[in-house]
Amino acid sequence: MTTTPILLIHGIRLSSACWGQVSEELAPGNPVLAIDLPGHGERRDERFTLPGAIETVRAGIDRLGGSALVVGHSLGGFTAMAAAAAHPDQVAGLVVAGATLTSGRPLATPFLLMHRLLSARPDGGKAFSERVFRRVLPPRVAADIARGGIATEVIPEVASALTTFDPLAALRAYPGPVRLINGGHDHFRLGEQRFLRASPDARLLVVPRSGHYLPLTHAALFADLVADFAASRSLVRLAAAGGHTG
């Protein structure tokens, strides 16, 4: 079956390693690439900026042949929306998971508080963060996250970048098909109806009894949702044509 290449974008502090299980679930039928955003994973020595993140997404899509289904979780979801608005001709479709909350200071403040508390620890909060992930995520995923590194130090740069980013405007600027996927208990759901209305071609999927880390706690289910979208005839046709020109 012909499917659309898939690009995976991780959340704040994480890395491409967090997508290990999802990538394995997708890989039998799909070309898949998970990337590290600036300031994360193998790029922790770089500064995070939204233009830099958008360029990282564009370069990843090029590696997949020039058009892809872009899938982002949390920070990755905001980055995916920004990249889709900037390069609609390369984004055949968009999956936004756990990122339907308008950015700005209300979004940034809790992350900055977390950064302050974790940074006060001798190891920068590494051991505490790994312990939390082991409690809330499957063992394999928590181990992958620890292996990829947890970039707590990048939080202020990400918060600064998202403070001035308007995700609703980005969605309005992207003409392609969008899937908004949220866990039923995710606090980032609060604006999902506004996001749904902002996109000209969007559907909302809410998974009960799951939270903000839905793509990582329910990797097989999330991969199935993404794979079904990637295999849809309209998306395959758009990918083959090189995405959108609107």
DSSP characters over 75-139: HHHHHHHHHHHH-GGGEEEEEEES--S--SHHHHHHHHHHHHHHHTSTTTTHHHHHHHHHHHS-H
**Rounded to the nearest 10 degrees, what angle do helices 50-63 and 155-163 cross at?**
100
Q: Please report the pLDDT score of residue 2 as a whole number.
A: 61
pLDDT for 66-91, tens place per residue? 999 999 999 999 999 999 999 999 99
pLDDT higher at 208 or 111? 208
Over residues 202-240, the pLDDT tens digits come to: 999 999 999 999 999 999 999 999 999 998 866 766 666
Predicted confidence at residue 243, as pLDDT, reads 67
The residue that leads in pLDDT, 55 or 231, is 55
- Nearest CA among 1, 9, 12, 14 for reference residue 143: 14
State the average pLDDT over residues 187-197: 94
Q: Write phi, then psi, for 221 (nearest 5 degrees).
A: -65, -45
The rounded percent of the chain whose pLDDT value lies above 70 is 91
Q: 7: burial class by Cβ within 10 Å (0-12, 13-18, 19+)?
A: buried
Strand partners for 91 = 68
Q: What is the mean pLDDT of residues 17-33?
A: 93
The pLDDT mean for the chain works out to 92
Query: Residue 240's pLDDT is what?
Result: 63
Across residues 26-52, what is the average pLDDT? 95
Looking at the predicted structure, is the pLDDT value of residue 107 above 80? no
Claim: this prediction has a pTM higher than 0.85: yes
Alpha carbons 85 and 77: distance in angstroms, whole number: 12
pLDDT tens-digit series, residues 117-161? 888 899 988 999 999 999 999 999 999 999 999 999 999 999 999
Neighbouring residues of 182: CB distance < 8 A, sequence distance ≥ 6: 97, 98, 100, 188, 189, 192, 204, 205, 206, 207, 214
pLDDT for res 238: 62
Strand 91-97 with 68-73, pairing: parallel
Q: Strands of 10-90 (E only): list them.
A: 32-35, 68-73
Q: Could you give all domains of the chain from N- to C-terminal order, each with its CATH number? A: 26-203+234-241 (3.40.50.1820)
Decide if pLDDT at 110 tops 80.
Answer: no
pLDDT score of 1: 52
Give the rounded distance of the alpha carbon of 227 from its chain centre: 16
